Amino acid sequence: MTATDSPPDAGSLDATLDAAALAERVEQFLAEHDPSTTEPVEFLRARFAAGLAWVHYPAGLGGLGAENGLQAAVDAAFEAAGAPENKPRLNVIGLGMAAPTILRFGTEEQQQRWLPSLWTGEDIWCQLFSEPGAGSDLAGLATSAVRDGDEWVVNGQKVWTSMAHHARWGILVARTDPEAPKHRGLTYFVVDMSAPGVEVRGLRQITGEAEFNEVFMTDVRIPDDQRLGEVGQGWAVAQYTLMNERVAIGGGTLPRESGAAGALAARWREHPEARTPGLHDRMLRLWVQAEAARLTAERLGQQQAAGQPGPEGSGVKITYARLNQECSSLELELRGEDGLRYPDYTERRPEVEDYGSRDAGWRYLRFRANSIEGGTSEILRNVVAERVLGLPAEARADKDVPWKDLPR
């Protein structure tokens, strides 16, 4: 697969791999690799090699070229057998964003180099996109990458970098041509987070934790063979990553009554004394909206697995943020005066955790970020308006102006 090839289309799918055939493969694999006696990493490596990691990916890259939509049954069979997981919460950026981008734009050597250890969870990934002066206007970023022989020398600062303190690799967009308009002078790289010149500093959040980071890069050298896509193609590659991110954040396949809606429903059932007619109406409305969003997200998740994340993911991510915030607000209201208490404001460096396992006050504070991370809701409404509804684009006076001439 070359750097510009797409994931396998319907013509390259193995039509013989239906649900029954995959179930038989899983059963045979489990007979040969007992989860209770096999080391977790060895089990995961063997599962990847057998093509049962991402069954819709090409053979040799963790998949079998199977039809999209069959992965859920495979995952369920492994879970029922007690198979080890691959750190899906900690490595959500790697699994949901980096992997599909590497598959779409990476060379064969890059795919073989990064995908196995990414899927097994041996290597955690982070995303180096946003900057202090380039968040919603990502194309205005200033981090520079200057060619020096077979390497690029990178200098700049990134911010809001989730899990950078755990990450082995980072996906990075940097400016390689300041003479070009801002969208055209960008290039996409993979950076070694342990390389000299990379410094990660925690950012304490309103919850008291430091899940996010700022990352400083000073004369960081990146070999050219760690570039994804062509020089100057960074915006197109980044857009593909971002579409996958919005589906990954808002479009994960979840069971009914999970997440914020599940926590709210549990609180409602456990405390009937807090119910009033007005709150009952709000509760029902939020539950129905959450279920509609969950089913829509499941469909978009299948599109993402097929390499077609689409701009519709922006709408799902907007809904996800709004529902999380409204559900956590109602949950806190149901707690009455107890909702004013916050259990622990100790600064710590967490892994990504199950929101449902945390205190209601923590959820209420943490969900404030949902309408910012992964693209602000304001920007995503523009994406939906222009790319889904076909409305006229906003006037952009800086579209053809060289980046170096833009006011900053």
DSSP state of 384: I
* Short-list 129, 218, 137, CA closest to 407: 137
User: What's the Cα-to-Cα distance from 299 to each of 171, 292, 306, 370, rounded to whole Å?
Assistant: 26, 11, 11, 21
Element at 145 (helix H, strand E): strand 144-148
At residue 360, the 3 state secondary structure works out as helix
Q: How many residues does the chain have?
A: 408
* Short-list 337, 341, 333, 340, CA closest to 283: 333
Q: φ, ψ for residue 174 (rounded to 5)?
A: -135, 160
Task: Point out the catalytic residue in the list 67, 131, 245, 326.
Answer: 245
| Cα(269)–Cα(66) distance, integer angstroms | 42
User: What's the Cα-to-Cα distance from 132 to each of 136, 140, 157, rounded to whole Å?
Assistant: 10, 11, 8
Q: Residue 30: what residue type?
A: L
User: Please, are residues 344 and 208 in contact by the beta-carbon 8 Å criterion?
Assistant: yes
Task: Give the count of beta carbons closer than 10 Å to the beta carbon of residue 36.
Answer: 8
User: Please, are residues 180 and 195 in contact by the beta-carbon 8 Å criterion?
Assistant: no
- 343-363 as b/e: b if 16+ CB within 10 A: eeeeeeeeebeebeebbbbbb
**Under the phi-then-psi rule, with left for phi > 0, alpha for psi from -120 to 50, and beta for the rest, what region is 87?**
left
The angle at the Cα of 286, spanning 285 to 288, to the nearest 5 degrees, equals: 65
| Cα(91)–Cα(108) distance, integer angstroms | 22
* Short-list 261, 237, 402, CA closest to 323: 261
User: What is the bridge-based pairing of β-strands 198-203 and 151-159?
Assistant: unpaired
The angle at the Cα of 288, spanning 284 to 289, to the nearest 5 degrees, equals: 115
Residue 245: active-site member:
yes
* Residues annotated as part of the active site: 245
